[in-house]
Amino acid sequence: MTVLITGVAGFIGSAVALELLRQDKTVVGIDNLNDYYDVKLKEDRLAQCLPYSKFSFERINIINRQAISQLFLTHHFENVVHLAAQAGVRYSFKNPTIYIDSNLVGFGNVIEAAYQCQVKHFIFSSSSSVYGANKKQPFSEKDSVDHPLSLYAATKRANELIAHCYAYYGLPCTGLRFFTVYGPWSRPDMALIHFTQNILQDCPIHVFNEGNMVRDFTYIDDIVAGVIGLLNHIPSKSGRGEERNPSMSDCAPYRIYNIGNHQPVQLIYYIKMLEKFLNKKAKIEMMPIQTGDIPYTYADVRDLENLIGKLPHTPLEVGMKRFVEWYHAYYRKSALCALSQA
């Protein structure tokens, strides 16, 4: 099995690649290593994969249609795990064009190449953000997702619709709606890194919606297990009158699944766990809700577990402890390296 992972230097992409390599799979990874956040962090994630003989890396921007087409013609992938995207809800209000380029044009380039080269299974990242203004809990794949609250969410919903069209043409597609992924090697633009840095530096942390935020925090290893568990579960036409369930399709080999911890947690409790393992209290400043934020997320994961079996659900206390251990080790090492080069 040869698997293409786009966004392989990213938080989720690098973790999926590393686990596949540990399972002796052949992995080709691509990434443009852009400077949306610290490039060194991306390079260090990537460095974990480089020692494996069955791993190869190419620096490619998915916006480059010709480079993507040539990549597919060269390697003949059986499976694609498309994770490359411009992430972040709030950044989409500041720089919308990069979301259109990466999440729409780039997505189109990759899925078209996968279709042309008859890939067996195209797995792609979506997001819990697509649920937008939906107030029903837990979020189910059967729910309406027609009212996104950010351009980021809108591009992810567009990806789902585009994938359905390609599935109708004959490319089996599975989309995964990720719910608030956290853990070692997290993106530095995410709240967890901000909170950790500010607590350690005795700076205040901003807690939005006056603390009335609930998230289905999902540990990175649990996400990886779900993605890899899906690889060999190639969708087919449902043939079961599923027209009321937009996550499945009677007319196309297409599925959408939530992937989360199924354990919504108050943000204040999340911060308390971080304080516990940092052994330091946070200075909290309560703030109003931000534009584009969803106050409450909670994943219904029954459809995915019915397909691949019970998912691991790492308790927050365990995941947070592992994150803090990684944070101290990684950033201490980075600081020592910087000092040695000064």
Residue 94: per-residue pLDDT: 86
Residues 174, 176: Cα–Cα separation, whole Å: 7
Q: Averaged over 181-204, what is the pLDDT? A: 95
Residue 338: per-residue pLDDT: 47
Q: Averaged over 246-264, what is the pLDDT? A: 91
User: Tens digit of pLDDT for each residue in 290-306?
Assistant: 877 888 899 999 999 99
User: Tens digit of pLDDT for each residue in 138-183?
Assistant: 999 999 998 999 999 999 999 999 999 999 999 999 999 999 999 9
Catalytic residue among 36, 115, 152, 166: 152
Residue 284, classed as helix, strand or coil, is strand
Residues 4, 56: Cα–Cα separation, whole Å: 10
Between these two residues, 135 and 157, which has the higher pLDDT value? Answer: 157
Residue 88: per-residue pLDDT: 84
Q: How confident is the model at residue 244 (pLDDT cuts 50, 70, 90)?
A: low
Does pLDDT of 102 surpass 60? yes
Q: What is the mean pLDDT of the chain?
A: 92
Q: How confident is the model at residue 93 (pLDDT cuts 50, 70, 90)?
A: confident
Between these two residues, 221 and 243, which has the higher pLDDT value? Answer: 221
Q: How confident is the model at residue 210 (pLDDT cuts 50, 70, 90)?
A: confident
Percentage with pLDDT > 70 across the chain = 95
DSSP 8-state symbol, 252: S
DSSP 8-state symbol, 260: S
Residue 118: per-residue pLDDT: 97
Q: How confident is the model at residue 238 (pLDDT cuts 50, 70, 90)?
A: low
**Dmax of the chain from CA atoms?**
66
The pTM score is 0.94
Residues 193, 196: Cα–Cα separation, whole Å: 5
Tell me whether residue 99 is one of the annotated catalytic residues. no
Residue 140: per-residue pLDDT: 95
Residues 202, 329: Cα–Cα separation, whole Å: 20
What Å distances lie between residue 110 and 30, 69, 76, 133, 177, CA to CA? 11, 8, 13, 29, 19
Q: How confident is the model at residue 342 (pLDDT cuts 50, 70, 90)?
A: very low
Please state whether the peptide bond connecting residue 188 to the residue before it is cis, i.e. omega within 30 degrees of 0. Answer: no
Residue 226: per-residue pLDDT: 97
Q: How confident is the model at residue 267 (pLDDT cuts 50, 70, 90)?
A: very high
Residue 1: per-residue pLDDT: 79
Does pLDDT of 336 surpass 50? no
Residue 71, classed as helix, strand or coil, is helix
What is the set of domains in the chain, with CATH numbers? 2-341 (3.40.50.720)
Q: Averaged over 196-211, what is the pLDDT? A: 92
Residues 163, 147: Cα–Cα separation, whole Å: 19
Residue 294: per-residue pLDDT: 83
Phi then psi dihedrals of residue 22, to 5 deg: -65, -30
